[in-house]
Every structure is written in structure tokens, then in C-alpha cells.
Structure 1
Amino acid sequence: MTSSDPTDTADPTVRVVPTGPTEPRADLRFYLQEARDALLWKLEGLSEYDIRRPMTPTGTNLLGLVKHCAGIELGYLGDTFARPSGEPLPWLDDGADLNADMWATAEESRAYVVDLYRRAWAHADATIDALPLDTIGRVPWWPSDRNEVTLHHAVVRVTADTHRHVGQADIVRELLDGSAGMSVSNTSLPTGDPAWWEKYRNRLEEAAKEADRDT
């Protein structure tokens, strides 16, 4: 029997891109899952130190991005539609440190954060499957006079937010060890040859210097 879900494949590293007419819910699920998988892929092969290292002046780090995205899914695709997960998220409680959801403490293991994110996926997906896309929810942390959203809007919002953070993870991972690429099954890069990339980067550097001299 053939599955109607375009994300359902025998090999989890191979994802079938929806083509032709598709059901909106399947499209939403596909692109959200694509972002989730890519974000976790960016952790693979790195030490505990490297997945936690603050790589920008504002502290952007890989495991913190995963922790943040878990809370986003549980909030927008759980609490917003009166479907609380029951997961304790103390870093989002009143009185928690600013930005506490953007980094993992030494006590919060990689396995804990990744498992939390996967449980958040399952909870969010159950919401997407259970409710019509035009279902109205209320975002608890938005002002009460303008906190209504449809499920469709919430899924698009979470997908956009997750892809934004995957973009950050792309840069952080490349800064850490030079690894780059869109996903495990499709790097979306023209070549994997380090010598080509060094020549390419040098060409860009020279073009930038030339443009600066001409101003």
C-alpha cells in the first residue's frame, strides 16, 4: 500500500519532495519536518562543548537553538489550542533569566534537549492532525485583544521560525568545523571540494576589496 503522506519513506534520510497537487496539511507537515531534521543534523559529530559554544556576540549556539524550538512548538502548537503538553519548561516561567531558552545548562544533557524536541514534534503533529486548519487558538503570551490565530497561521509561523534558526545553525556549524549543507540527503552545495571552496572564497575576498577601492 502506498502512503499518502509525502514525508513517509522507507529510508528516513531520503525525503520525497511534494510535487503536483498536494493537500495543504501535507505541505505544512513536510516543510516543518524538513526544518526539524536539519536542525538536529547540525548537532551530529560534535562534542558537548561545541554544541554549546556561544559563537556570536549574542551567544548563538546549536543546542540552545534546539531548546528554543522545542518551546516554540509546545507553545504555538500546544498551549495556543488548549492542548497543553504537560512538559515542564522552567526557563519560560515568570522570573526565569532573560534568554534562558536559548542555551542549555551543564545539567541539561544533549539527550534531554533532543528528546524534548522530539516530544514537542509529536505533540505539535498531533495538534495539526486533530484540528481543522481554520481552528482558532489564542496565544497565551500575546495581548488578549489580539491573540487569536488560526492553526494554519500558527503552523506557518512555527515553520518560518524554525527555518530561520536552521539558517543560524548552518552558519554556527560552518564556523565550528567547516561543515555545511542544507540536509543529510541534499547539501544543496555545488561541490564538496575544499580546494574549490578556498579558491572561491579568495575570489570573493578580492572582489570585495576591489569594490571598496573603487568607492
Structure 2
Amino acid sequence: MSHLVGTIAGMTDTKTHLHRDLRNARESLLWKLDGLGEYDLRRPMTPTGTNLLGLVKHIGGIEAGYLGEAFGLPVSDPPPWFADDPDEPNTDMWARSEESSAVIIGFYRRVWAHADATIEALDLDAPGTVPWWPAEDADVTLHRMIVLMIGETNRHGGHADIVRELIDGAAGLRPDFIGLPEGGEAWWADYRDRLGQAARKAAGQ
């Protein structure tokens, strides 16, 4: 009996830690939008069009699916872009001019609350199904989906890190922990120069 209690307690502790990691990843991603105007939130910053608001729109849809629909708990009142033409690629990766940034960010926060309720209501081994995955992979557990969402959110958070730095030079993990050396502009210029020299030397240039 004591072993069973320990196992249950361990699973609860694991879920608490995973949930905390997911919350931290969400906050870090959304922080990258702080202080920017509509143009900077939306403008494409890479050859494939990566943009900050599109990242939030995309990850909100992913989380709504993996921590909602996959467990028979779809998000109520889904936004209009959920009904976009599936034959048009990347519709969830950018914001149309008529799509309010406040609505997109608000939807993401609403997804947080919905997914949090799913996580709190179910055990880690609770079964789910991802119908848009191949049949052999479609059966999942809550544990697997939380881990997947941590990975997805951090992956797109990394994209947002680079996009935000390209826009205005702002960098760091979160407001209370930047996680970068406290060098000034001259220090960073020298740092980049040293990296360039090392790259050229390695390439025999």
C-alpha cells in the first residue's frame, strides 16, 4: 500500500512540474510581444515569413488541439481562423489585417485556461486520441501531450527570441531572468567580431 501511495504521489509531483514548465514556456513566448506595435507584431522576419503574432496564433491552435480536442474537450467558441480553407497553407502562421492582435492573444490566453483545466482534471495516464495523426500513433496519454506541448512551445519561443532580437534588439528568457551576459553595445560588437574571426579561421579564410 505504501508503494502505491508513493507512486501516486510521484505522478502528482511529475504533473505539477510538467505543468509549471509549460506555463513558463507560454509566458516566455508571449513576453516577446510586449511593447511592440501592430506592424512589428505582424511583419515577416525570415524568408519563410516567421512573425511574432503568427507564432502565437499557431501555438494557440496546437495547444487547443493537443490539450483539448485530443481528450474530447474542444475549446468553446473557436476563432474564425479555425474554419480557414485547409487547402491554403500556413493560414495559422500569420495574422490578416482584420484579425485583431488583442483577439489572437486573448484566444491564446483562453487556450491556456482550457488546457490547464484539462491537465488538472485528468491523470497523466489518461487516454486521448489525436485524430489527425496516423492511426498507429493516434492513441496518446495526457503525459505525452504535456511533454509535446512543452517542446512545441519552447521551439516556437526560440523562433520568437530571434524574431524579436531582429526587430529591436530585445533579448532574454523572461523579464526576471534575461540569461545573457551584461555586456554593453561595444562588448556585443566585439563579441560578434570575435565570432566572425573564429568562423573565418575555421573555414581557412
TM-score using structure 1 length: 0.85
Instruction: For 1:37 and 1:94, locate their aligned partners in 2 and report how far apart those are by CA, in whole Å.
Output: 27
Instruction: For 1:131 and 1:157, locate their aligned partners in 2 and report how far apart those are by CA, in whole Å.
Output: 16
Matched residue of 1:137: which SS? strand
Q: From 25, 33, 45, give the equivalent of 2:35.
A: 45
Query: Which residue does the alignment assign to 1:211?
Result: 202
Aligned partner letter, 1:57: P
Matched residue of 1:23: which SS? helix
1:192–1:122 distance in 2 versus 1, CA, 3 Å: farther
The answer to which structure, 1 or 2, has the higher relative contact order (CA under 8 A, 6+ apart) is: 2
Aligned partner letter, 2:26: R
Instruction: For 2:84 and 2:171, locate their aligned partners in 1 and report how far apart those are by CA, in whole Å.
Output: 38
Q: From 14, 18, 30, give the equivalent of 1:28.
A: 18
Matched, 1:134 2:125: yes
Q: Deviations over 1:42-71 (max 9, x none)?
A: 011111101111111111000000001110
Instruction: For 2:183 and 2:149, locate their aligned partners in 1 and report how far apart those are by CA, in whole Å.
Output: 31
5+ residue gaps, structure 1: 1-21
Q: Is residue 79–residue 107 contact of structure 2 (8 Å, CA) maintained in 1? A: no
Query: Which residue does the alignment assign to 1:3?
Result: none
5+ residue gaps, structure 2: 1-11
Q: 1:7-26, aligned counterparts within 5 Å?
A: 23-26=13-16
Instruction: For 1:62 and 1:176, locate their aligned partners in 2 and report how far apart those are by CA, in whole Å.
Output: 10
Query: Which residue does the alignment assign to 1:175?
Result: 166
Number of matched pairs: 193
> Shift of residue 192 of structure 1?
4.5
> Shift of residue 145 of structure 1?
4.0
Matched residue of 1:197: which SS? helix
Indicate the larger mover: 103-112 or 161-170.
Answer: 103-112
Aligned partner letter, 1:29: H
Matched, 1:200 2:191: yes
Query: Which residue does the alignment assign to 2:116?
Result: 125
Aligned partner letter, 1:162: T
Matched, 1:54 2:44: yes
Task: Give aligned-pair identity as a percent.
Answer: 56
Q: From 123, 135, 156, give the equivalent of 1:144.
A: 135
Aligned partner letter, 2:153: T
Q: From 53, 65, 69, give the equivalent of 1:75.
A: 65
Instruction: For 1:171 and 1:64, locate their aligned partners in 2 and report how far apart those are by CA, in whole Å.
Output: 14
Q: Deviations over 1:58-85 (max 9, x none)?
A: 1100000000111011100000000111
Query: Which residue does the alignment assign to 2:152?
Result: 161
Matched residue of 1:213: which SS? coil
Matched, 1:185 2:176: yes
Instruction: For 2:20 and 2:189, locate their aligned partners in 1 and report how far apart those are by CA, in whole Å.
Output: 34
Q: Is residue 63–residue 110 contact of structure 1 (8 Å, CA) maintained in 2? A: yes
TM-score using structure 2 length: 0.89
